[in-house]
Amino acid sequence: MEQSAVTPSTGWGVLHLYYRVDPALPAANRGAAGAAVVAAVESLEADGHQVVVQAILGHKADLGFIALGPDLARLQRFQQELLAAPLVPEWSYVSLTELSEYGATEDDERARLAVEENLAGEELEARLAVWRERITHYREQRLHPRLPAKATCCFYPMSKRRGPGDNWFELSFAERKELMAGHARVGRTYAGRVLQLITGSTGIDDWEWGVTLLADDPVVLKEIVYEMRFDPVSARYAEFGPFFTGLVLPAAEACARVGLGADGRR
């Protein structure tokens, strides 16, 4: 019996799945395995979900999948379809799209416009109307993102430190919000060059957040992470998990690159 939909009350479910091709898989079966992967991806997309397929660089895995959408039960079925392809699971991560609790409010923006730009009255209200439209689009993209077709992708999980002297969760909300505002300013300097998707996993996986970065130029992936390492949010309070980097490709091409193409070569 088909599992009924499991839909978060806010946002979407996100699976980061990393697999290895079984070296013992006979060459005669490799083309069929690749076709099964392509069919699983196409079926999930037909059901209103998104999949970013990657041929992974390095030896942590062969194939990577970022699958996201409204139904956790459908995402779970997708991961089982990949196992049946067959692919050997190497690593996975479960998270949900979310809004940042530190995002600017309308009162924050009103105060900023009054203090920094000396606006008041109708001019201030007009600027606020533009801000509301922009923030509505931004929040929708955070909760229900449409991931673009970039050439490369990097993913890593992270948590905030809770050690003596550097415990993020002992800071006041105002302190945390001020620190995150500085962190966000660094990220905004990469707008247009890298898409950043931050998903939450506190209580549902080993780390607290997942960071997905998509860019056409792989140098930008390195630059944004390096620059943010100097920000106090990272330098003092962040712990990082493993990094997975891959080439973003159509499913059939990614499969062919790891030996699951029509000719079965590896």
Q: How many CA atoms lie within 13 A of 54 on its CB side?
A: 30
d(CA 264, CA 12): 35
Q: Which residues are catalytic?
A: 156
